[in-house]
Structure 1
C-alpha cells in the first residue's frame, strides 16, 4: 500500500544549504550572469535545479511564474525569491543584492572611462562599431518577444496600436501600458481563448524528490503568509523610500536634479512589465527628451555597455544616471565624478527597491497558492504592446546610427556592420555577448587604422 510522503522519507530541508554556500553561489552568479534574462534564468535553473538540486523543477517554475508577472527585472527578482525561500529575508536580500552589485561597480567604472577617454581613437572606434550591433540586438528582442506573445490577430492589433501611439502620436509610455492593460482585460472577457496564458512547462512526475526543497516539502515557516509580516515589509519599504526621498527634497528641493532622478526611476521601476527593453522607451523619453541627462547616441552606448556586462539589462539606468550627474556637475565643476557616482547609487536604490518589496512581501502569498498562478489577460495585453514599443525603439536607434545628423547620407560602414551582426544573431545563432565582442574587436581595428578620423 502506498504511503504518503513524510518527513522521514523526504530528503533534508533547504536549511541544509549553509549560508556560506549560498552566499558563494549568489556572489558567483553576480559575476557570470551574462546573456540577458533568458540566459540568467537558464543559468540559475542549471545550477540550482539540475546540478545542486536545491529545489525541484516545479518549485523553480512556480517562483519564475510569479516573477514574470511583476514589473522589474525578472531574473534579479527570481534570485531574490529563491534566496528568500532557502534562507528567509536575509537570503533574499543577499541574493538580490549580489545579483546587481558587480554590474553596478563595473558600469560606474565604464561610464567614467567613456566620458573621460571616449574621444581616444581606440575607444571611439569600439563605440562606433558596437552601435549598429545594438540596433540589431533591439530588433532581435522585438522578434523574440513577438514570437512568444503575438499568437493571434487581437494581440497583433494591440502591438500595432502601441507602435502607432508611441511613434506617430508620441504618447507617454505609462499611458500606452495602461491602455494595453485595459484592452487585455476587455479582450479577456470577450475572447478568453485569445488572451489566455500559454501553457507552462511540465515538471517531472516524481516531484523532484531528490531535491532539498521538492514538490512534497511543506512550506517553510518563514514562507507562510502572515498579514503582520506583509505589513512589516510594506512599512520598512515605505521608510526606505520616504527617508532618502525626503532628504533629497530638503537638500535640493522637489525640482532638484537628484530628486527628479529618484522620482523618475521610481516610476520606471513600476513600469518594466516585459523586461528592460519594454521600459527603455520610457527611459529614453524622460532621460533624453525631457531632462536632457544624456544624448541619443550616448543612450545607445549605455545600452551596449549594459548588454556587455553581467547583471540585468535595466542596469543601464546606472549609466544614464552617472552621465546625468557627471555632466550636470550639480556638486560643482571640480566634483563631477562624485556627482556621477552619487546619482548612479541613488538611481540604483530607487530602481531596485520595489523589486525587493514585491518579492519579500508577495512571495508568501504565492507559496500559499502554488500550482494556481496564471498570467492575466491584462498582462497579456501589456506584453503585446511591449512588442510595438520595442520596434519603435529599434527604429529610433537605427535612424541615429545609420543616418547620422552630421552626414549627408547613410553611414554605409555602420550599415555593413549591422548586416554582419544580423547574420550572426539571426542566421548563425550567436549570442548577444559574442556579437558585441566581435563588434568591439572590429572597432579596435577601425581605431588603429584611422579610418574613422
Structure 2
C-alpha cells in the first residue's frame, strides 16, 4: 500500500518522527489538530494529496468518536497499513495521555486547597466561552438549511427539557436524514450524486469480518478481565461499559461526546460535580492530543473515589487506562474495518443524509451542554423540577457567582472578539481567577 497521489513513500522512521511531532504540537481542539496534520502531511511533505486529505476527513466525520485522531490513524494506514495506522494513531495520543494523567493525579490531591480552587474558578468560567465558540462555529458550518435548523432545535428541546436519551436523539436524527435524503435532498443541501460514480474494487468480506472479530475481542478483553476478577458491580465495570457505549453512539465530533458524557458522569453516575467536569474540559483544552482525552480525567476520578480493593492512586490509574482502552480501541476498529470501503461508503446517499442530519442535531447537543455548564458554573445551587414530562433546571438566585460571570465575559471577549487562542484564554483566566480570589 503506497502513499496517496503517487508521492514518494516516506520511510517508516520518518512517519514515526512526523507523527510524534504532530502529537506533541496538537493543541487547539479538532480544528487546530486537523490544520496541523494538513500542514505537515499535505503542504510540507506531500505524502497525501489535497483531494485525498479532504476525502479522508469526510470519511472520518462519518464515524463515531474523535475525528482528528481517526484522521491520523487513517493517514498512517494509507502509508503503511495496520502498523502505520497504529503508529500514527498512538503517537497522536500518547503525549496528551501522559500529561492528562499527571494533571489528574495533581487534581485529585490538590482539589481541596484554596489556591487550587481559585485557579480553576477562572478555568471553569473560561470554558463557558470555549464551548460557546464551538457552538457558534458548528452552527455556521452545519445549519445551512431550515430543515437542519429545525433538527438542531428539536435535539436541544429533547435533551434539555424532555431528558430524552442521547442515543435516541441521534438515531431519530439519522432516520430523518436518511428519509429526507431519498425524498427531498435539497432540504439537507446534499450535492447531487454523479450518475455513474467511480467504483473501487469491492474489499474482501472475509478480511473485513476478520478485522472486526480481532478488534472487537481486543476491545472486550479488559472488560472480561474486570468482570472475572472484581465482578459486574465494581466501578471499573461501570467505567468500561459506559465508555464503550460512548464510543459507539457519539457521532458528530468531540463536543458531542462531551455533551453526553458530562451529564451522564455527573447526573447519572455521580462520579463528578458539574464544576469538576468543567475543570476536566479546561485541562483537555490546554494540553496536546484529542479533546476527548477528558474521558481519561473522568475515569481516573471515578475510580479514585471508589477505590476498593485498591489504593486510590492505583484505582485511579486503572480507571484512566481502562477508559483510554475502551474509548480508543474502537477508533482503530472503525478505521481498519471501514477504510478499505471509503469510496463506496461516501457514494451512499442515505448514509450521507443521515450523517448530515446528525451533524445538525449535534448543534442542539452542544447548545444543551453550553446552557447546562453555564447554570452550574454561575450558580452554586441548581435543582431539577418536573412539570409532567418537562424537566426544568432551577437555579438558586442567591448563589449567583458574579466573579465567575465577570471572568467568563472577559474570556468571551478575548476568545470571540479579539481572537485569542484557547490556550492563551484559559491560561489567562486561571491567573485572573487566582488573583481575584486573593483580593476580593
| Shared fold, TM over 0.5 | yes
Can you give the 5+ residue segments of structure 2 that lack an aligned partner in the other structure? Answer: 193-199, 382-395
Instruction: Please give the alpha-carbon distance, in whole angstroms, between the structure 2 residues aligned to 1:137 and 1:265.
Output: 24
Instruction: Please give the alpha-carbon distance, in whole angstroms, between the structure 1 residues aligned to 2:108 and 2:96.
Output: 18
* Preserved contact between residue 293 and residue 328 of structure 1 (Cα < 8 Å): no
CA apart distance, 1:136: 1.3
Residue in 1 that maps onto 2:240: 262
Kindly indicate whether residue 130 of structure 2 is the aligned counterpart of residue 137 of structure 1: yes
Q: How does 1:334-349 map to 2 (within 5 A)?
A: 335-349=311-325
- Of the three residues 391, 405, 424, the one matched with 1:415 is 405
CA apart distance, 1:379: 1.2
Q: How does 1:320-399 map to 2 (within 5 A)?
A: 320-332=298-310, 335-366=311-342, 369=344, 372=347, 376-399=352-375
Distance 1:407 1:154, change over 3 A: closer
Instruction: Please give the alpha-carbon distance, in whole angstroms, between the structure 1 residues aligned to 2:297 and 2:345.
Output: 38
CA apart distance, 1:361: 1.4
> Could you report, residue by residue, the CA deviation over 1:74-112 in whole angstroms, capped at 9, with x for unpaired residues?
100000000111111101001111111111111111011
Q: How does 1:109-124 map to 2 (within 5 A)?
A: 109-124=102-117
* Preserved contact between residue 293 and residue 324 of structure 1 (Cα < 8 Å): yes
Q: How does 1:235-314 map to 2 (within 5 A)?
A: 235-314=213-292
Instruction: Please give the alpha-carbon distance, in whole angstroms, between the structure 2 residues aligned to 1:88 and 1:326.
Output: 38
After TM superposition, the structure 1 stretch with the greater mean CA deviation from structure 2, 36-45 or 414-423, is: 414-423
* Preserved contact between residue 233 and residue 357 of structure 1 (Cα < 8 Å): yes
* Preserved contact between residue 170 and residue 361 of structure 2 (Cα < 8 Å): yes
Instruction: Please give the alpha-carbon distance, in whole angstroms, between the structure 2 residues aligned to 1:102 and 1:128.
Output: 26
* Preserved contact between residue 81 and residue 363 of structure 1 (Cα < 8 Å): yes
- Of the three residues 41, 65, 87, the one matched with 1:48 is 41
- Of the three residues 54, 73, 83, the one matched with 1:90 is 83
CA apart distance, 1:113: 0.6
- Secondary structure, counterpart of 1:263 in structure 2: helix
Root mean square deviation of aligned Cα: 2.3
CA apart distance, 1:311: 0.7
* Preserved contact between residue 172 and residue 282 of structure 1 (Cα < 8 Å): no
Instruction: Please give the alpha-carbon distance, in whole angstroms, between the structure 1 residues aligned to 2:181 and 2:97.
Output: 40
Residue in 2 that maps onto 1:102: 95
Residue in 1 that maps onto 2:414: 424
* Preserved contact between residue 30 and residue 254 of structure 2 (Cα < 8 Å): no
Number of equivalenced pairs: 417
CA apart distance, 1:13: 5.2
Instruction: Please give the alpha-carbon distance, in whole angstroms, between the structure 2 residues aligned to 1:426 and 1:351.
Output: 31
Instruction: Please give the alpha-carbon distance, in whole angstroms, between the structure 1 residues aligned to 2:73 and 2:367.
Output: 31
* Runs of 4 or more above 4 Å deviation: 10-14, 368-375
Using the size of structure 1 for normalisation, the TM-score is 0.87
> Could you report, residue by residue, the CA deviation over 1:194-247 in whole angstroms, capped at 9, with x for unpaired residues?
213479xxxxxxxxxxxxxxxxxxx9xxx9933333222112112202322211
* Preserved contact between residue 48 and residue 55 of structure 1 (Cα < 8 Å): yes
Residue in 2 that maps onto 1:128: 121
Distance 1:85 1:416, change over 3 A: same
Instruction: Please give the alpha-carbon distance, in whole angstroms, between the structure 1 residues aligned to 2:224 and 2:33.
Output: 35
CA apart distance, 1:254: 2.3
Distance 1:197 1:431, change over 3 A: farther
CA apart distance, 1:398: 0.6
> Could you report, residue by residue, the CA deviation over 1:286-325 in whole angstroms, capped at 9, with x for unpaired residues?
2111211111111111111111111111111000000001
Instruction: Please give the alpha-carbon distance, in whole angstroms, between the structure 2 residues aligned to 1:197 and 1:299.
Output: 37
CA apart distance, 1:372: 4.7
Q: How does 1:48-197 map to 2 (within 5 A)?
A: 48-197=41-190
Instruction: Please give the alpha-carbon distance, in whole angstroms, between the structure 1 residues aligned to 2:190 and 2:125.
Output: 35
Distance 1:371 1:356, change over 3 A: closer
* Preserved contact between residue 135 and residue 394 of structure 1 (Cα < 8 Å): yes
Distance 1:113 1:341, change over 3 A: same
Instruction: Please give the alpha-carbon distance, in whole angstroms, between the structure 2 residues aligned to 1:86 and 1:45.
Output: 15
After TM superposition, the structure 1 stretch with the greater mean CA deviation from structure 2, 44-53 or 236-245, is: 236-245
Distance 1:198 1:130, change over 3 A: farther
Instruction: Please give the alpha-carbon distance, in whole angstroms, between the structure 2 residues aligned to 1:164 and 1:373.
Output: 30
Distance 1:247 1:409, change over 3 A: closer
* Preserved contact between residue 188 and residue 196 of structure 1 (Cα < 8 Å): no
Residue in 1 that maps onto 2:376: 400
Instruction: Please give the alpha-carbon distance, in whole angstroms, between the structure 2 residues aligned to 1:362 and 1:299.
Output: 33
- Secondary structure, counterpart of 1:72 in structure 2: coil
CA apart distance, 1:147: 0.8
> Could you report, residue by residue, the CA deviation over 1:386-419 in whole angstroms, capped at 9, with x for unpaired residues?
1111111111111111122298242111111111
After TM superposition, the structure 1 stretch with the greater mean CA deviation from structure 2, 163-172 or 273-282, is: 273-282
- Secondary structure, counterpart of 2:249 in structure 1: coil
